[in-house]
Amino acid sequence: MSAQPLKKIGERSWGITIFAFLYLAFLYAPMLVLPVFSFADQKVIDFPIKGFTTHWYEEMFAKPEMHKALWNSIQVGVIASLTATLFGLLAAKAITRYAIPGKSIAMGLISLPLFIPEILLGLALLIILNVAGVTLSLLTIAAGHVLLCTPFSMAVLVARLDGFDKSLEEASLDLGESGWMTFWRVTFPLIMPAVVSSLLLTFIVSFDEFLLAFFLQGTEQTLPLYIWSGLRFPSNFPPTLALGSIILVVSIVLVVFAEWLRQAGTGGGKMKVGV
Amino acid sequence: MSDMNSGDYIRIEHVTKRFGSFHAVDDAHFSIRPGEFFSLLGPSGCGKTTLLRMIAGFEFPTEGEIYIDGQPVTGVPANKRPTNMVFQSYAIFPHLDVYDNVAYGLRKAKLPKAELDRRVKEALGMIRMDGFENRRADQMSGGQRQRVALARALVNRPKVLLLDEPLGALDKKLREQMQFELRMLQQQVGITFIFVTHDQEEALSLSDRIAVMQKGKVLQIASPRELYESPNCREVADFIGTMNFMPGVVKSIEPKVAVVEVEGLGLINSPLPEDYSFAAVGSEVLIGARPEKLDVVRGAPHPGEKGVKGTIGACAYLGDRNHYQVTIEGRAAPLQVATEQGDRSTLASFSPGEHVTVSWGDNSMVLLPKS
């Protein structure tokens, strides 16, 4: 490769810079509507904004149903993220460490729920659960979420295990350690950041998910279901915006943190050899 | 080879490793003695690392058996073998410090704390890394990591230490220093070392014996001197040092000497190798001559030696010696001759175009199969 210096974006290409900003605005500006109106002192979503208030937040926090839904969502999210990360870890280990026939087919099948319309997935699961006579509950929602979350977990962990110097695991075996203990003494500590990243990511996927939860819900609601049901009453609308704003901020923070962890964790396994 | 009792500490019995239809190792069959510094030498892809990994227990032979200290280990996994390995990348655990890296195997063996501490300290002392207990891999130089990898393996007192190109990643100066240290360490601990390398100089300077491998086959197993002075085939001669190869025809077999007619050089007397079944009278063979076994002179050849007239072609000044290409009438390929750089008055003593004589003694030549 020739050693031509990379052209700095922005030096000469104003066009592309403007395009990038427009693109980002197009993607994210609509989301700003939520926080903006959640602080607006008015019941109707309309410009011009009449004044600033934190009243909607107070109203929202005062609702016991909201607390219940939040707690339900956390429970579902924790179960789904733990289970999906465990499955994702097993899948990633199998894919990166063993020569299994039909490896890419297996990977494809695990990723499939991402590409099937969720409404069909939800419907199909609902039919199966009905036929099997399973009572719908938070657990059935969590089970549905595992299906959606496992591909995310697998992707994060495959990337980490692939960029991992395999001679580290061989060195542990060579020093007398068993395969299982090698995993706990060497592999797991080194992929820990990716595991945490996977937990956060899958938690958020579950926490924000609506359609599957809608199909698989029993008597208890998760937070997105609570928001949906609240929208039927106009008086509930501003507090719902407040709740949506909080979820938005928390989601962004968690995803950014998960991504930071994932990137920070890729350095560990491979060492530069030099003096 | 005379000591038969201890001659087969490690036995590789007709070991073959196939990956699909590819023969990574093809019928390797030899023994390694206790306390020996044994090298597997060959170009990349020759099967040396696969063979080492089979001894370590990371790969398993398609055919054949491996014995260590009399015990068959062919199907035994790496964690149950009395071997330890120094990896090419060193494989220092990045989440552990030097102390915990070295103690890794001892912790598995559940050694009492005091004993463990003593052994770790002893191992660190041996590689002169005391005081580095709390360093991590990214706080060490390549040479230091290499030494930690050595200590981590040796602290377990393996019967065999396996080294997979451990010096490959170091720069030249450090590599030479580490070669010296490795040799000292091996003499100190007295453990059998099996050393994989593609660097012939490294293998020659370190090893008691070397197995030269190519395309999965072991070509020759011998001491460095034997390999250099009496290679058993063209491939070995070519891989270790440089050599002039001259096709010839066997005219007669005398006691200890084959008389071979070589184009442009006339009749050449070459000492007979141990196995000269390939050299029947009338058959085609190769005569090999190392450049430094030949000499360039003005006028007659050295007393008692034979010679042939030629013309200096290219010459190269290499500091401690001069390299000449000498064109011989009736020979297509010029002869490579290296002359020692003696006292300073002889600097560049021959120049291109000069008419000279190439001189050699009877022991300069090696008899090789036509291949």
- Domain assignment of residue B5, yes or no: no
Answer yes or no: do B298 and B163 share one domain: no
Answer yes or no: do B142 and B256 share one domain: no
- Domain assignment of residue B1, yes or no: no
Check CB contact under 8 Å for B138 and A173. Answer: no
**A18 lies within 8 A of chain B by CB:** no
The tokens 């054949």 sit on which residue? B64
Give pLDDT, residue B318.
81
Averaged over B184-188, what is the pLDDT? 89
In which domain, by residue range, is B107 found? 10-235
Show residues of chain A in contact with B137, CB under 8 Å.
Answer: 271
CB A230 within 8 A of CB A223: no
pLDDT, greater one: A163 or B107: B107
Q: Nearest residue of A to residue B86 by CA position? A: A171
Report the mean per-residue pLDDT for chain B: 89
- Domain assignment of residue B162, yes or no: yes
B87: helix, strand or coil = coil
- Closest-CA distance of chain B to residue A99, Å: 13
Q: Nearest residue of B to residue A271 by CA position? A: B138
- Domain assignment of residue B4, yes or no: no
**A264 lies within 8 A of chain B by CB:** no
Answer yes or no: do B82 and B145 share one domain: yes
> Range with the lowest mean pLDDT among A197-206, B94-103, B137-146, B168-177?
B168-177
Residue A177 CA to chain centroid, in angstroms?
Answer: 35
- What are the residue ranges in chain A where pLDDT is below 70? 1-12, 265-275
B62: helix, strand or coil = coil
CATH code of residue B355:
2.40.50.100
CB proximity list for B4: less than 8 A, separation 6 or greater: none
Q: Domain tally for chain B?
A: 2
- Domain assignment of residue B2, yes or no: no
What six digits make up the tokens of A242? 């407040």
Answer yes or no: do B230 and B150 share one domain: yes
Rounded Cα gap, residues A99 and B282, in angstroms: 54
Answer yes or no: do B185 and B272 share one domain: no
Give pLDDT, residue A11.
60
Starting at the edge strand found earlier in the chain, the sheet holding B209-214 runs B83-86, B160-164, B192-197, B37-41, B209-214, B217-222
Rounded Cα gap, residues A60 and B141, in angstroms: 58
Check CB contact under 8 Å for A173 and B137. Answer: no
CATH code of residue B154:
3.40.50.300
Rounded Cα gap, residues B137 and B129, in angstroms: 13
Rounded Cα gap, residues B244 and A15, in angstroms: 66
**A259 lies within 8 A of chain B by CB:** no
Scored b (16 or more CB within 10 A) or e, A45-71 reads eeeeeeeeeeebbeebeeeeebeebbe
**B22 lies within 8 A of chain A by CB:** no
- Domain assignment of residue B74, yes or no: yes
Give pLDDT, residue B117.
93
Averaged over B177-201, what is the pLDDT? 90
Boundary of a domain, candidates B187, B206, B235: B235
In this structure, what are the phi and psi dihedrals at residue B31, rounded to the nearest 5 degrees?
-125, 155
Show residues of chain B in contact with A274, CB under 8 Å.
Answer: 141-142, 169
Check CB contact under 8 Å for A167 and B152. Answer: no
Answer yes or no: do B200 and B68 share one domain: yes
Check CB contact under 8 Å for B56 and A174. Answer: yes
Q: Which of A165, A176, A274 sits opposite B105 (nearest CB)?
A: A176
Give pLDDT, residue A4.
57
**A273 lies within 8 A of chain B by CB:** yes
What six digits make up the tokens of B317? 């000044």
Averaged over B284-294, what is the pLDDT? 92
Question: What are the tens digits of pLDDT across the range B209-222?
Answer: 999 999 999 999 99
CA angle A46, A50, A55 (to 5 degrees): 100
- Domain assignment of residue B314, yes or no: yes
Answer yes or no: do B177 and B296 share one domain: no
Boundary of a domain, candidates B235, B261, B289: B235
What residue ranges define each of the domains in chain A, with the CATH number in brackets? 54-159+191-264 (1.10.3720.10)
Give pLDDT, residue A6.
60
Check CB contact under 8 Å for A170 and B87. Answer: yes
Please state, for a pLDDT cut of 90, what percent of chain B lies above it: 54
Please give the DSSP secondary-structure letter assigned to residue B346.
G
CB proximity list for A173: less than 8 A, separation 6 or greater: A179, A182, B57, B58, B77, B78, B79
Q: Nearest residue of B to residue A176 by CA position? A: B79
Give pLDDT, residue A83.
97
Averaged over B82-92, what is the pLDDT? 93
Boundary of a domain, candidates B235, B257, B289: B235
Answer yes or no: do B351 and B291 share one domain: yes
Answer yes or no: do B290 and B150 share one domain: no
Q: Nearest residue of B to residue A170 by CA position? A: B58
Show residues of chain B in contact with A177, CB under 8 Å.
Answer: 79, 104-105, 108
The closest of B231, B145, B163 to B202, measured between CA atoms, is B163
Q: Is residue B98 very low, low, confident or very high in pLDDT (cuts 50, 70, 90)?
A: very high
**B77 lies within 8 A of chain A by CB:** yes
Answer yes or no: do B216 and B278 share one domain: no
B38: helix, strand or coil = strand
ipTM of the modeled complex:
0.83
What six digits make up the tokens of A33? 């509507």
CB atoms within 10 A of CB A210: 15
Q: Which of B56, B93, B152 sits opposite A186 (nearest CB)?
A: B93
Q: What is the DSSP string of chain A?
A: ---PPPPPTTTS-HHHHHHHHHHHHHHHHHHHHHHHHHTBS-SS--SSP--B--HHHHHHHT-HHHHHHHHHHHHHHHHHHHHHHHHHHHHHHHHHHS--TTHHHHHHHHHGGGTS-HHHHHHHHHHHHHHHTPPPSHHHHHHHHHHHHHHHHHHHHHHHHHTS-THHHHHHHHTT--HHHHIIIIIHHHHHHHHHHHHHHHHHHHHH--HHHHHH--SS--HHHHHHHHTTSGGGHHHHHHHHHHHHHHHHHHHHHHHHHHHHTTSSS------
- Domain assignment of residue B131, yes or no: yes
Answer yes or no: do B263 and B188 share one domain: no
Answer yes or no: do B256 and B162 share one domain: no
**Sign of the alpha-carbon dihedral angle for A102, A108, A113, A117:** negative
Question: What are the tens digits of pLDDT across the range B41-76?
Answer: 999 889 999 999 999 999 999 999 999 998 999 989
Q: Which of B84, B87, B143 sits opposite A275 (nearest CB)?
A: B143
Averaged over B271-296, what is the pLDDT? 89
Rounded Cα gap, residues A109 and B7, in angstroms: 56
**B138 lies within 8 A of chain A by CB:** yes
